[in-house]
Amino acid sequence: MNQIVEPGNPLAPHTGSTVALHELSVQPVILAGGSGTRLWPLSRERNPKQLIGLMGDESLLEATLRRLDDAFDSAAHDAARTRPPAVPLVVCCEELRLPTLERVEQYRKPVRMLLEPVARNTAPALTVAALAARASAAAGDDPILVALPADHLISDHAAFGAALNEALAHASRGAIVTLGVPPQRAATGYGYIRTAAAVGNQGARAIERFVEKPDAELAERYFASGEYWWNSGMFVVRASVWLDAIGLCSPLIAAACQDAFAGASIDAAGALHLARDAFAACPADSVDYAVMERIGHDARLAGVTVPLEAGWSEVGAWDSVWDASSKDGDGNVARGRVVFDGSRNSFAHSDGRLVACVGVSGMVVVETADAVLVAAKDRVQDVKAIVGRLKAQRDSEADEHRKVGRPWGFYDSLDRGERFQVKHVVVKPGGRLSLQMHHHRAEHWIVVRGTALVTRGDERFLLSENQSTFIALGVTHRLENPGKTPLEIIEVQSGGYLGEDDIVRFDDQYGRDEGSADARHGSSDR
């Protein structure tokens, strides 16, 4: 492994004299479309792991954005600084637009959003991001994409900045660069990169090939060889290089993405919406399958992996959350109201109720308001199969929590029977639900705190605490909070059909028209 690749191709070692980093244009791209099914029941399809406080109050998406700030501000970039990076581009599904926007707003810095009408995996996402980066760059510029999943953990931001600096240098010379993680153990939950010759003198290596997640025996062999690194899923590549690569390896993806971008529209908030029909026709594929697995087999693709030794974790399942968390003397991790007695190497999370674990070892227990997971820690990869069964049965627990955040506040489903449903609805100051009606149910609203401004047909009136109103079936209505404190109501729905898709929306300040993905999630999205 001490061979050095010779100059004359994109794998040649770089030097400060041949690569002017201060002239590089960098476009950060955050891939925020994952579903996080292996982290159920905390992660749900409409509130996936990148949008929740999995390791604390800050979501993984916010942490990713702040990590980029630290990387580009770190000492690793002082000697050969790139131009200030462009505003980060967050790529996510239309269905996740509003909850993603709420998390982005917590970042409190400018962010651009690129919205996919349907999920098509990371290769199309990176392709449309490359097209967007090229379209917004200065004339003649070819920005380097720094593509990061929104659901990773990295504890050492300075080391991440140094690795990123090295990756930019290789990418500037035409390589497709990935950050590879020298393994700490024989893990079976990650894909691997088989490394080849050294590239330069900073630890980077040529990519020989990408390999699938191994079984336990093969993982041990990979780990012992020293030639295999974990595949982090983070990529650094010039926009033109990626577009050429995807055109070579998957022309159907390239063509569909080009059509979807050409037909895109920009909303009032500046978000870019891809053309639905064109993007829906795009094959779904990952960056790894579409392009990276061709490296080593096609001389036209040059791949480099830069070592990342910065406390990285994909947090793809509950065992990796346990691994990344601080533990007590018995190796246990407790989140929320949790008591351990005679237990070892276990993880327990409580969203509210007390969880007591007695005499357990290597277990995972996760409590939420509407679901509880109990699993052996070495079987948490199989949680994905449970979610698949729930979806097949059309169980709501696969998609949303009992308590659901919305741009105007939140609602909590308290009880449900054959012809009724009871919800606790909280509207933040200035919040305004959509103007809507229902075909199959009536609603009773009781104000328990604050003041409500109610639209009911042609009427508009105020309700104070302990006052109520009735919304008959088929009547147009809206709920607003005109006050400076949260408005809380108890909503009792009654009727022959209480499905969340019984809604006709007429007006919505959050941009959810009746045909949108948001609208299809029903009355309580309002």
The CATH number of the domain holding residue 71 is 3.90.550.10
Q: Which of 131, 390, 69, 137 is nearest to 272 (CA)?
A: 131
Whether residues 163 and 118 fall in one domain: yes
- Residue 316 is predicted with a pLDDT of 86
DSSP, collapsed to helix, strand or coil, labels residue 337 as coil
Of 387, 411, 438, the last residue of a domain is: 387
Q: In the structure encoding, which two tokens stand for residue 504, read together? A: 């006709």
> What is the tens place of the pLDDT at every residue in 303-329?
999 999 999 998 889 998 999 899 999
For residue 179, tell me if it sits in a domain. Answer: no
Q: Which of 167, 29, 32, 186 is nearest to 96 (CA)?
A: 32
Whether residues 276 and 353 fall in one domain: no
Given a cut of 50, whether residue 67 has pLDDT beyond it is: yes
CA distance 118 to 469: 39
Report which secondary-structure segment, H or E, holds 357. Answer: strand 355-358
Given a cut of 90, whether residue 437 has pLDDT beyond it is: yes
Whether residues 157 and 50 fall in one domain: yes
For residue 154, tell me if it sits in a domain. Answer: yes
For residue 115, tell me if it sits in a domain. Answer: yes
* Residue range(s) defining the domain that contains residue 502: 402-525
Q: What percent of the chain has pLDDT over 90?
A: 70
Given a cut of 60, whether residue 61 has pLDDT beyond it is: yes
Name the pLDDT band for 17 (thresholds 50, 70, 90): very low
Radius of gyration for the chain, computed over Cα atoms and rounded to the nearest angstrom: 25
Whether residues 42 and 151 fall in one domain: yes
Given a cut of 70, whether residue 22 has pLDDT beyond it is: no
Whether residues 80 and 109 fall in one domain: yes
User: Is the bond into 41 cis (omega within 30 degrees of 0)?
Assistant: yes
> What is the tens place of the pLDDT at every residue in 327-364?
999 999 999 999 999 999 999 999 999 999 999 999 99
Of 271, 302, 333, the last residue of a domain is: 302
Whether residues 292 and 383 fall in one domain: no
Average pLDDT in the chain: 89
DSSP state of 469: E
Q: Strands 452-456 and 420-427, how do they pair?
A: unpaired
Given a cut of 80, whether residue 75 has pLDDT beyond it is: no
Given a cut of 90, whether residue 279 has pLDDT beyond it is: yes
SS3 of 416-447: the string is ECCCEEEEEEEECCCCECCEEECCCEEEEEEE
Best mean pLDDT range from 49-63, 173-187, 334-348, 501-515: 334-348
Name the residue with higher pLDDT: 513 or 151.
151
Name the pLDDT band for 82 (thresholds 50, 70, 90): low
**Phi-psi category of residue 450: left, alpha or beta, with phi > 0 → left and psi -120 to 50 → alpha:** left
For residue 312, tell me if it sits in a domain. Answer: no
Q: In the structure encoding, which two tokens stand for residue 72, read together? A: 């580009």
Please give the order of strands across the beta sheet that includes 333-335: 333-335, 347-350, 363-367, 372-376
For residue 345, tell me if it sits in a domain. Answer: yes
415 beta partners = 422
Q: Which of 91, 134, 140, 143 is nearest to 113 (CA)?
A: 91
Q: Which of 300, 303, 325, 287 is nearest to 191 (CA)?
A: 287
Question: H-type helices in 313-439, by residue range?
Answer: 318-324, 383-392
> What is the tens place of the pLDDT at every residue in 201-232?
889 999 999 988 888 899 999 999 999 999 99
For residue 223, tell me if it sits in a domain. Answer: no
Whether residues 416 and 494 fall in one domain: yes
303 beta partners = 176
Name the pLDDT band for 32 (thresholds 50, 70, 90): very high
The CATH number of the domain holding residue 504 is 2.60.120.10
Whether residues 282 and 379 fall in one domain: no
CA distance 109 to 343: 44
> What is the tens place of the pLDDT at every residue in 395-432?
889 988 888 888 899 999 999 899 999 999 999 999 99
Given a cut of 60, whether residue 13 has pLDDT beyond it is: no
Q: Which of 296, 194, 300 is nearest to 247 (CA)?
A: 300
Of 341, 356, 387, the last residue of a domain is: 387
How many structural domains comprise the chain? 3
For residue 3, tell me if it sits in a domain. Answer: no
> What is the tens place of the pLDDT at every residue in 498-524?
887 788 988 877 665 544 434 433 334
Name the residue with higher pLDDT: 231 or 74.
231
Whether residues 356 and 457 fall in one domain: no
Whether residues 426 and 491 fall in one domain: yes
For residue 307, tell me if it sits in a domain. Answer: no
Q: In the structure encoding, which two tokens stand for residue 397, read together? A: 């627990």
Name the pLDDT band for 54 (thresholds 50, 70, 90): confident
Whether residues 506 and 442 fall in one domain: yes
Whether residues 440 and 488 fall in one domain: yes
CB under 8 Å to 182, separation ≥6 — which residues? 229, 230, 307, 309
